[in-house]
Amino acid sequence: MRLIDYGVRDDEKKYIEEWAKINKVEVKIVQELLTPETVELANGFDGIVAYQQLPYDPVVFDKMNEYGIHVISLRNVGVDNVPFEALKKNDIRLTNVPSYSPEAIAEYSVTGLMALLRNMKHMIRKVDQYDFEWAPDIGRELNQLTVGVAGTGRIGRAAIKIYEGFGAKVIAYDKYRNDELDKKGMYVDTLDELLKQADVVTLHLPSLGKGNTVINAKTIAEMKDDAVVVNTGRGDLINTQDLYDAVANGKLYGAVLDVYENEVGIFNTDRTDQELDDKLLEKLIQSPRIILTPHIAFYTTKAVKNMATISLNSMVDELNTGTSGNEIDLDK
């Protein structure tokens, strides 16, 4: 069995090499992304493993079929950048890593919220300038707030446990209710109800499709004054301009954003001493009430190892048995 792994970062490499040695499988490691040009490197291999934020070009899957490769295994959970029709046309199966560390993302979302509630971004900037005054950066306590968790999958449920530990009141919304949370009476009936009742809205939802935002001018108008938005889910859940305006004019207290609707091509790149073409992104960075990080909520040693190894295990299952527990239903 010969596998090729695309878009491999330095922090992933050792886990892939360890897996290959333990499982006695040849894995060619490629730093480049999977494109119509680089897919030619896969000729002669049995399966492709990949991760990238950019869309996968349908030509890639035509080439895979030509090379007799009929499985692609993603090292991440999101599949919205994969053209399913091109997969079906070429009889290619797809797997992902549905859960690499829910706790990592849940912990990060709460960490960002706590930093925002205590005005740490602004206070650190003040201290860097030798300004040691307290005011006006008085904080808020999480135990006094109602947290609305939108999306109660693995990550949302992990976040709920943490919020409950802080003593916050937690309400939740999900189209598909979790039985345990439902028994506790935690759910509200609609997302609108959650937005209206919550002091903190934390998003753990999948993408709802381009233009289908949860946070926008209309929904913000219905939210509590001084509410907080936390997003470690998908950037396109938020109309970021509307969010920024609401923070700037004082309607919302602030926001924690680990994802951004226009992040592709910017996040995980070094722009030191360069001008940003994205003026909205510049405003987010400069705002004392917006904490922005470059899609790193998942980024822990445990999660990176799981992404690297689970994707390879799924690939082996697919090649040996024709299926795996992480195979994506392309017709849904």
For the chain, how many residues are written?
332
Q: Is the pLDDT of residue 317 over 90?
A: yes
Specify the DSSP element, H or E, that contains 148: strand 146-150
> Residue 49: which of 100, 64, 62 has the closest Cα?
64
- One of 93, 157, 289, 295 is an active-site residue; which one? 295
Looking at the chain, the whole-number percentage of residues with pLDDT higher than 90 is 95
pLDDT number for residue 80: 86
Q: Is the pLDDT of residue 325 over 80?
A: yes
What is the pLDDT confidence band of residue 211, given thresholds at 50, 70 and 90?
Answer: confident
Q: Is the pLDDT of residue 210 over 90?
A: no
pLDDT number for residue 78: 86
pLDDT number for residue 207: 85
Annotated catalytic, 295?
Answer: yes
- One of 261, 263, 289, 318 is an active-site residue; which one? 263
The residue assigned the tokens 């996040």 is 267
- What average pLDDT does range 138-153 have in this prediction? 97
What is the pLDDT confidence band of residue 248, given thresholds at 50, 70 and 90?
Answer: very high
Q: What global pTM score does this model have?
A: 0.90
What is the pLDDT confidence band of residue 264, given thresholds at 50, 70 and 90?
Answer: confident
Angle between helices 102-117 and 154-165 (to 10 degrees): 40
In the chain, the N- to C-terminal Cα span, in Å, equals 30
Q: Is the pLDDT of residue 280 over 80?
A: yes
- One of 204, 234, 261, 289 is an active-site residue; which one? 234
